[in-house]
Amino acid sequence: MQLPILHPKPGQTADLVAGLAPTGDARPLPVDAGEMRARGWDAVDVVFVTGDAYVDHPSFAMAILGRVLEAAGFRVGILSQPDWRSCEPWRAFGRPRLFFAVSAGNMDSMINHYTASRKVRNSDAYSPGGRIGLRPDRATLSYCQRAREAYKGVPVIAGGVEASLRRLAHYDYWSDKVRRSILLDCKADLLVYGMGEDAILEIARRLADGETVRDLWDMRGVAYRLGAKDSPPEGLLELPSFEQVRDDKLAFAEATRRIHDETNPYNARPLLQRHGDQAVVTTSPPLPVSQAGMDSIYALTYTRRPHPSYTEPIPAFEMIKDSVTIMRGCFGGCTFCSITTHQGRIIQSRSKDSILSEVEAMAAGPQFKGTISDIGGPTANMYQMKCTRPEVEAVCRRQSCVHPKICKLLGTDHGPLIEVMKEARTSPGVKRVLIASGIRMDLAQLSPEYMRELTEHHVGGHLKVAPEHTDPEVLARMRKPQSDDFERFSQAFRKASREAGKEQYLVPYFIASHPGSDLGAMIDLAVFLKRNGYKPDQVQDFIPAPFDVATAMYYTGVDPFTKQPVHVAKGLKDRQMQRALMQFFKPENYFEVRRALQRAGRSDLIGSGCDALIPDRAPPEALAARRRKADRALRPDHVHTVPAGERRKRSRKESRRAPGAGYRPDRKS
């Protein structure tokens, strides 16, 4: 079979969603047969299966994709957090006319469930009440399996973050092995990667017109399976096979390099990776959504609320309910972040009128309190920034537009963003507009006017920034600016705050155990924190997410682009010491910090010196914390403690662990 390999024109965008008009129907999409019939439907065209609670807000994928299909005239049912132990929930709407659309949710289900220490998280921000256990481990696999069981012959289309980041052979941190493409394990008919508005609309229209799933193999941003008898299209770039990357770490590193070299939608080639007698083909990345398309997406009818059937708050919604998304994508290319690989490196921005219309609609709502919690996206200050030479962008394979230094062809004008900020805060009913998305500090310093506007009007006392580390080698591995960039920004921020007559502070975020970071680097970071008076309440512990460049470093011990060795902290004790060093001031971390300093030969930092991180003698609080830890280790219920008032006898059937559950979902705490 021969498929065309598309070469778009420089600057070309996707426009299928442009021009979609809102239906005006303020009801949420149906979640059961009763709501389906209330709309006068006897069936649906698409059943959208999601691992998240159904929130009809444009920060949630199921809301955007469902409303896009609705605006195009399709009937959509939302199957939210179904019980995966049976296929009966998949029959709630009857047989869908076109397909099942399956997503694990806004996060990879394994990252959603487990910490960097591989312990079960105590809450799920995308579930009502923050309860755990409402979705399975590797949810895409279970959901696709149940969809196939429910109705034979109905196409199953997998998408979302989990499917995107696992579309090819990948390292899985939780099983500590290389797993094959999720497409082969979930047995979906097609996998959509990246942002899915244009793709899901094209799939629905073409299937409705009588085409088959196989006809969809010419789409951008999809992955499909080739059988032993299928011939691959011409022009594909072949990656090392699954067997090669599983058995040879250098082959894994090389595959990672080739994959990330093919992420620019204007020049990326389709990829092929063999898995035994099968193969997975990923077509070229989707084109960025045009501004008209972005405006159409966010102008659709949303209730901006969770489905009314929920009686408990949904933490993720509570955090973003008063925020406004103004753009998507990121050209930073940080090696530990999946945003660039999922949303794309090309910034896709809404128009100012579109943003202000949403602000005005929010302000007119009865539950609005006057404060917009955030205007931003993956970053706060990349709005409408783009390459100034489209013909160069069309051939560029650079991994980051801002590392090792800002590209001279990158347009960094903050003017359009400043206009949006000014007009948003003067909209009727709006008292304050805050910036909660991360500030790209190297870009912000290029615009003194932006720094003035930010500090004078848009900081609620504290501003979050992400310098991530202080060690030059670690920062280079991350593709982040050197530490003096943070120091310059800090000085500029304090100066601008003083001129605005405000006392405001930075809240810096740092990462422990990132590839390249050893005890010496973490000790230097701890000394930096002490000298500057920073006491971080939260610590980011590096989690090797599928598909990331930093994950390849973690697994292989080499940089996939240079093939040079990289230090990796893999042992649990090593990771605990790095984490403790970032919070050296906490008494419960005393013994971990002391062990780290002694191991690194830095006992000079124990005592009463100016740079000393801990005193000679353990404080009473440290001894008490060690006793509590020892007590917990001896108890049979040391992971989760059930309050006495909630204890009850369970039947043998209730206590039995469900196959594939991943953890015990019947726990009450």
366-383 tens-digit pLDDT? 889 999 999 999 999 999
Mean pLDDT, all residues of the chain: 92
Residue 68 belongs to domain with CATH number: 3.40.50.280
Is 592 within the bounds of a domain? no
Q: How many CB atoms lie within 10 A of CB 276?
A: 11
Confidence class for position 8, pLDDT limits 50, 70, 90: confident
Q: What is residue 632's predicted lDDT score, i.e. its pLDDT?
A: 76
Are residues 84 and 205 both part of a single domain? Answer: yes
Minimum mean pLDDT among 17-21, 278-282, 379-383, 641-645: which range? 641-645
Average pLDDT score over residue span 76-100: 97
Contact present, 434 and 421 (Cβ < 8 Å)? no
Q: Is the pLDDT of residue 198 over 50?
A: yes
Is 102 within the bounds of a domain? yes
Confidence class for position 668, pLDDT limits 50, 70, 90: low
Are residues 225 and 342 both part of a single domain? Answer: no
Minimum mean pLDDT among 11-25, 148-162, 524-538: which range? 11-25
Q: Is the pLDDT of residue 235 over 50?
A: yes
Q: How many CB atoms lie within 10 A of CB 374?
A: 19
Residue whose pair of structure tokens reads 């991530």 in the numeric block = 468
Q: What is the pLDDT of residues 569-623, one digit of tens each?
A: 999 899 999 999 999 999 999 999 999 999 999 999 999 989 999 999 999 998 9
Pairing of strands 540-541, 505-512: parallel
Range of the domain at 124: 33-229+276-282
Is 215 within the bounds of a domain? yes
Average pLDDT score over residue span 538-544: 91
> How far lies 117's CA from each of 111, 121, 388, 621, 661, in Å?
11, 10, 44, 24, 19
Are residues 66 and 171 both part of a single domain? Answer: yes
Is 189 within the bounds of a domain? yes
Q: What is the pLDDT of residues 446-456, one digit of tens each?
A: 999 999 999 99
Is 169 within the bounds of a domain? yes
Q: What is residue 666's predicted lDDT score, i.e. its pLDDT?
A: 56
Is 242 within the bounds of a domain? no
Is 460 within the bounds of a domain? no
620-634 vs 590-599: helix axis angle to the nearest 10?
A: 100
Contact present, 349 and 291 (Cβ < 8 Å)? yes
Are residues 223 and 81 both part of a single domain? Answer: yes
Q: Of 389, 410, 436, which residue is a domain's last? A: 436
Q: Is the pLDDT of residue 26 over 60?
A: yes
Q: Provide φ and ψ at 68, rounded to 5°.
A: -60, -45
Contact present, 465 and 441 (Cβ < 8 Å)? yes
In a 10 Å sphere around its CB, with 0-12 CB exposed, 13-18 middle and 19+ buried, how is residue 522 labelled? buried
Average pLDDT score over residue span 35-60: 97
Q: What is residue 6's predicted lDDT score, i.e. its pLDDT?
A: 57
Q: What is residue 390's predicted lDDT score, i.e. its pLDDT?
A: 94
Q: Distance between CA atoms of 27 and 47, rounded to whole angstroms? A: 17
Q: What is the pLDDT of residues 415-424, one digit of tens each?
A: 999 999 999 9
Q: How many CB atoms lie within 10 A of CB 177?
A: 10
**Count of domains forming the chain:** 2
Q: What is residue 186's predicted lDDT score, i.e. its pLDDT?
A: 97
Q: Is the pLDDT of residue 1 over 60?
A: no
Q: Of 436, 459, 491, which residue is a domain's last? A: 436
Q: What is residue 667's predicted lDDT score, i.e. its pLDDT?
A: 53
Please tell me the pTM assigned to this model.
0.91
Q: What is the pLDDT of residues 612-664, one digit of tens each?
A: 999 999 999 989 888 888 887 776 544 444 454 544 444 444 444 444 445 45
Residue 416 belongs to domain with CATH number: 3.30.750.210
Instruction: Return the structure tokens found at 79.
Output: 């199957």
Share of residues in the chain with pLDDT > 90 (%)? 84
Is 402 within the bounds of a domain? yes
Average pLDDT score over residue span 157-180: 97
Q: What is residue 287's predicted lDDT score, i.e. its pLDDT?
A: 94
Q: How many CB atoms lie within 10 A of CB 227?
A: 8
Q: What is residue 642's predicted lDDT score, i.e. its pLDDT?
A: 47
Q: Which residues pair with 78 in a beta bridge?
A: 48
| H/E segment holding residue 65 | helix 61-71
Q: Say how many CA atoms lie within 13 Å of 534 toward its Cβ.
A: 23
- Which residues, including other chains, have CB under 8 Å from residue 115's CB and lie 6 or more apart? 121, 541, 543
Q: What is residue 7's predicted lDDT score, i.e. its pLDDT?
A: 65
Are residues 216 and 326 both part of a single domain? Answer: no
Q: Distance between CA atoms of 383 and 412, rounded to whole angstroms? A: 9
Q: What is residue 550's predicted lDDT score, i.e. its pLDDT?
A: 98
Q: Of 436, 453, 468, which residue is a domain's last? A: 436
Q: Is the pLDDT of residue 539 over 90?
A: no
Minimum mean pLDDT among 105-114, 228-237, 322-331, 492-501: which range? 228-237
Q: What is residue 2's predicted lDDT score, i.e. its pLDDT?
A: 46
Q: What is the pLDDT of residues 239-263, one digit of tens each?
A: 999 999 999 999 999 999 999 999 9
Are residues 192 and 335 both part of a single domain? Answer: no
Average pLDDT score over residue span 414-440: 95
Q: What is residue 649's predicted lDDT score, i.e. its pLDDT?
A: 47
